């Protein structure tokens, strides 16, 4: 693991400024990313008249790198300077998203281009997210790590809240393809802010290939996740939940935009309320954990939250009533997901040794997002075969199934977690794979 030398107060102050640069870069790029997540499928439906299964393919291609990239990226990032990687990923994303308005202006925009952007953009996003998690502990002291992680998680929640609304407003004002110009600018701002960081990774001695077990090194994080029963059960829940959420992502945009003709403003408002729910859950989680313990918190909150998805297909009446009910359902469901994310992040930090943090986070991301491409594809097929409204009726029963792993004793009985210092507290195979 890259070490951190003793630092003077001046160096600590500079590290704090570097963290603020990382935080500011992430805050802006999160908003931009949410614009893309809104504008790409909206462009496909409203501009290119894509069908439900084509939207499902688009969602699946964006999330496919979440299945293929994390494990090799985690090991690769262990041996790279992280700041240049983050800058490069932001520049790649800027080029990708700005190609959409350029192609649209030239009359050459097609679904194939959106598919390519989805795959490459998803890969860059996964790599960037893992790199940020690995860089963070090098910028802040241990006693401020929880606060720093909370601020980065708040960026995601705030981005999810404001990004769709901004995207909906921009799409109505200048058209969905041109809305992506704002995202391109956000990535350029992020890259420029990161370039001002003074922190440089220490040189890590090269390890020879002799005696290395690359397979064990790559899969070390997986063995930590599967070796700790509460984290394993939470990961299984998150994987099922995320797959089901793709049904909602595909069906909701088709139902509100294509089937009911409400336009981007109404759809964006619903997503904004979902983002506010995520912020609410993230902010409330620490208090709930202190009062109830992590196990009871995630079990009770998620069980209540998944039942909120019954509201989406049941929504009827006037346009205002439908939008309000869908917004309420997404608010509650997203709040429960926000609480679950805080609990799982806390467990990952506490049960894994420092030299495996990047790979444990990469492994957890692989597990929890691995089913997302499948969910997007199946969701698109269902929307095309049985309709968006019927697809939304299929979501709540599956969401309830996703909560079952949380009802098992390893999670429900979890009252607290102490950072393991003993060698035998970490799965032996994982420790051997740490290299």
* 347-381 per-position pLDDT tens digit: 887 777 767 777 888 888 888 877 777 888 888 88
Q: What is the mean pLDDT of residues 118-122?
A: 91
DSSP element (H, E) containing 357: helix 357-370
Summarised one tens digit per residue, pLDDT across range 222-267 is 888 888 899 999 999 999 999 999 899 889 988 888 888 887 778 8
Which whole number is the average pLDDT over 406-416? Answer: 86
229-253 vs 220-227: helix axis angle to the nearest 10?
A: 100
CB 170 within 8 A of CB 179: yes
Distance separating alpha carbons of residues 209 and 131, to the nearest angstrom: 24
Which are the contacts of 129, defined by CB distance < 8 A and separation ≥ 6? 365
Across all residues in the chain, what is the average pLDDT? 81
CA distance 338 to 304: 13
d(CA 388, CA 256) in angstroms, rounded, equals: 9
pLDDT digits (tens, 9 = 90+) for 296-340: 989 999 999 999 999 999 998 888 999 999 999 999 999 999 888
How many angstroms separate the Cα of 403 from the Cα of each of 86, 250, 296, 411?
A: 35, 22, 13, 11
Task: Name the percent of the chain lying above pLDDT 70.
Answer: 84
Task: Check if the beta carbon of residue 267 is closer than 8 Å to that of residue 256.
Answer: yes
Contact present, 113 and 40 (Cβ < 8 Å): no
């Amino acid at each position: 693991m890259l070490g951190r030398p003793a630092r003077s107060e001046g160096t600590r102050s500079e590290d704090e400024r570097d963290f603020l640069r990382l935080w500011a870069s992430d805050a802006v790029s999160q908003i931009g990313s949410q614009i893309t997540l809104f504008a790409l499928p909206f462009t496909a439906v409203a501009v290119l008249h894509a069908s439900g299964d084509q939207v499902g393919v688009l969602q699946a291609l964006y999330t496919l790198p979440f299945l293929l990239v994390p494990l090799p990226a985690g090991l690769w990032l262990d041996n790279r300077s992280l700041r240049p990687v983050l800058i490069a990923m932001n520049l790649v994303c800027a080029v990708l998203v700005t190609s959409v308005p350029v192609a649209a202006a030239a009359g050459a925009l097609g679904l194939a281009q959106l598919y390519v952007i989805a795959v490459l953009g998803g890969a860059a996003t996964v790599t960037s997210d893992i790199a940020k998690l690995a860089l963070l502990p090098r910028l802040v002291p241990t006693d401020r790590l929880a606060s720093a992680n909370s601020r980065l998680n708040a960026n995601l929640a705030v981005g999810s809240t404001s990004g769709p609304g901004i995207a909906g407003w921009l799409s109505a004002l200048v058209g969905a393809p041109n809305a992506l110009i704002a995202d391109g600018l956000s990535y350029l701002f992020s890259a420029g802010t990161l370039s001002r960081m003074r922190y440089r990774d220490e040189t890590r001695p090269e390890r020879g290939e002799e005696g290395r077990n690359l397979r064990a090194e790559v899969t070390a994080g997986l063995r930590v996740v599967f070796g700790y029963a509460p984290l394993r059960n939470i990961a299984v829940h998150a994987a099922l939940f995320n797959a089901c959420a793709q049904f909602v992502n595909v069906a909701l945009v088709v139902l509100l935009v294509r089937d009911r003709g409400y336009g981007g403003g109404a759809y964006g408002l619903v997503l904004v309320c979902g983002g506010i729910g995520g912020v609410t859950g993230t902010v409330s989680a620490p208090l709930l954990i202190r009062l109830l313990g992590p196990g009871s918190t995630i079990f009770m909150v998620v069980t209540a939250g998944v039942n909120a998805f019954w509201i989406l297909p049941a929504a009827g009446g006037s346009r205002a009533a439908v939008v309000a009910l869908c917004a309420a359902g997404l608010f509650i469901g997203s709040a429960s997901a926000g609480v679950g994310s805080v609990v799982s992040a806390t467990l990952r930090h506490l049960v894994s040794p420092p030299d495996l943090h990047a790979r444990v986070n990469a492994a957890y991301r692989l597990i929890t997002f691995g089913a997302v491409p499948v969910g997007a594809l199946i969701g698109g097929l269902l929307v095309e075969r049985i309709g968006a409204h019927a697809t939304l009726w299929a979501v709540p029963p599956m969401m309830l199934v996703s909560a079952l792993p949380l009802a098992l004793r390893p999670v429900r009985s979890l009252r607290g977690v102490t950072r393991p210092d003993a060698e035998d507290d970490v799965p032996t195979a994982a420790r051997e794979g740490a290299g």
